[in-house]
Amino acid sequence: MFCVYALNQGAAAFAVDINEAVDQDGASRSSLTSCKVLQHPVQIRNEAKILEGELTGDAYNLFAFPSECNFSGMRFSLDLVNNVKQNAEKILEGSPYSKGHWMVLIDAAKGFATQPPDLSLYPADFVVISFYKLFGYPTGLGALIIRNGAAKLLKKTYFSGGTVAASIADIDFVRRREGVEEQFEDGTISFLSIASIRHGFKIFNTLTTSAMCWHTMSLTKFLKRKLLALRHENGESVCTLYGNCPLKVSRHDCGSIVSFNLKRPDGSWFGHREVEKLASLYGIQLRTGCFCNPGACAKYLGLSHSDLLSNLEAGHVCWDDNDVINGKPTGAVRVSFGYMSTYEDAKKFIDFIRSSFISMPSEFEKRYLLRSKSIPCPTEGFEDRLPSSACHLKSITIYPIKSCAGFSVNSWPLSNTGLQYDREWLLKSLTGEILTQKKVPEMFLIKTFINLNQQILSVESPYCKSKLQIKLDSDSYLPGKEEFYLQNQRYEVQCYENEINQWFSDAVGQPCTLVRCCQSEYCFSLNKNRSMGMCRDVNSKVNFANEAQFLLISEESVSDLNNRLCSKTQKLSCGAPPNVNPMRFRPNLVISGGEPYAEDGWRNLRIGNTYFSSLGGCNRCQMINFYQQTGQVKKTNEPLATLASYRRVKGKILFGILLRYDPGNKARLDTNSWLKVGDEVHSNSE
């Protein structure tokens, strides 16, 4: 951010790497000769101009550095303050920008809690601190400490309420307040948040900075030792630490965080998002990604400029699930310790890593990965090779509105998008955000039903007094059509009048609109060489389904899962085991008969007279942990936590299979095709 302001004003800016020599005993030397600075290329905007004082060496320069890196935990010597102020020309030897008046800013947001700078020894001009990082509350509140002599150099380019003594609206006249704090406190300050800080300081006053520093350092060293000692059964290391300090060093060399990534036995990476999601099931909260520190992230992960641009072209943005691209991690996992952390916390985390990431592949994983790498089975004539089967179709469920409850039927017509009317509607906020159960659990309580004879969609909610009825050939559409993009697919949609939108707004507790898909087409596929079941199906037409036209679940597989849940509950003495109904997984088709997880190996199948291709396993998420009880939506860690223990492949937790019509089959779909409960299911696993 400092660079952006400097470049916008025509100044030059550049980043540096700082290295300190370390004595044989592991202690850092703080003398000037031990400080080595490596400059990165100078950045200058095209419109850059020579600033006043640059040629004479009277220009003011700013050197900004963190007291502790929030990515690696490395602490920088505060001697940098005096060294830069007194010997900038020697430190920046050879740089045309080394002359002038050097001012120093310490970003102490991370390091202030355990190593607050003594400004009498290190007279920085500016120090940034964060109360949120000190106490964990309130969010977004911090402070900027400014040396009196430096305050007069600060010039704001705007003003707002409370920062001026007077202004005249229709001429260029403004007189700012005298005090520097008055000039920079724009608008009403967050006085309620500020009042809560006293409680944080009250706790701190019962402790000492030295004690907190030693406590967090010992936890950090303990966790690092344990992580570095972890090995897979083939002897390969599990953990790669970033910015790892020597383990026998003074307490001033390492901070209170541990950043790392995990590797599989074959050397490939576990994605940081996979680690975060699994940790949440164990009640462990982690920070993952680049931690808003792109420079350190690129440095420690070895990401070049071309890597970063390539990742962006592949669709990767901050906070998404693209955690490994082209074999390289895009972020890391970070464990942060505070004064309230305990050894039990660290041990719980180590136990989680051991149980979740140090094991040989399960038989399911071996079989699935082998299948995904094999040559696809030709589809021509596969119906002649389908063996007889004891499986039959147990139930059919349609979900007209995405993320709302569905309804079951004995028979239902098919269309070129799957089951007719399935996921043909969705709700979106006034800002265009798609509403789902993950964000709005109340959608689970919205019941739907379609009467084919009357051509009416009926909807009801416990939050609405009356049932809503929408004609399928509705005359309540607003004129014209809209379009938007969802998962790389362009949709043309029809919108509804205000009365219908108001009903749904009441049902979900926020303003929203109902839209109906009338046309969709794919724009591109980010992963052209996708493995089976690992991304959205781009070879068939779908409405608003996440991945494919159909989701199939086996009753026998659900029964095996329930047995595992029961066994787990008995071992933990947790009371009554949670019984999971097949409908928890929101399937379109439930089959009965055969062996548990036999569907994993299916490539093609026939249900009645309709032929399908399997796209592989369905990647499950936290949504299957939601369930309805006494008219309320509740959430647990199950069954996802148990599934993660034996159904995980390359970061995906697979359960159920995705289907689409087989385009290469001679028995093509026609408009009179129906699926019926009781239809036999014949599969081909070649």
Active site residues: 292
Question: Rounded to whole angstroms, how far apart are CA atoms 251 and 78?
Answer: 14
Specify the residue for token string 């040989």: 360
Range 49-54, long-range pairs (CB < 8 A, 24+ positions):
49/10, 51/9, 51/10, 51/11, 53/100, 54/100
Residue pair 440/458 in contact (Cβ under 8 Å)? The answer is no
CA dist 155 to 16, 40, 172, 183, Å? 26, 28, 17, 9
Strands 468-471 and 16-20: unpaired
Residue pair 438/521 in contact (Cβ under 8 Å)? The answer is no
In single-letter form, the type of residue at position 432 comes to G
The one-character DSSP state at 551 is E
Structure token digits, residue 315: 């669709």
The one-character DSSP state at 112 is T
Question: Directed axis angle between helix 272-281 and helix 343-357, to 10°?
Answer: 120
Q: Is the preceding peptide bond at 378 cis, omega within 30 degrees of 0?
A: no
**DSSP assignments along 158-223, one per residue:** ---TTSEEEEETTTTEEEE-SSHHHHH--SS--HHHHHHHHHHHHHHHTS-HHHHHHHHHHHHHHH
Residue pair 490/483 in contact (Cβ under 8 Å)? The answer is yes
How far from the centroid of its chain's Cα atoms is residue 249's Cα? 35
How far from the centroid of its chain's Cα atoms is residue 554's Cα? 30
Task: Select from 312, 244, 236, 319 the least CA-distant residue to 276.
Answer: 319
CA dist 234 to 66, 237, 238, 438, Å? 40, 9, 11, 39
Residue pair 469/456 in contact (Cβ under 8 Å)? The answer is yes
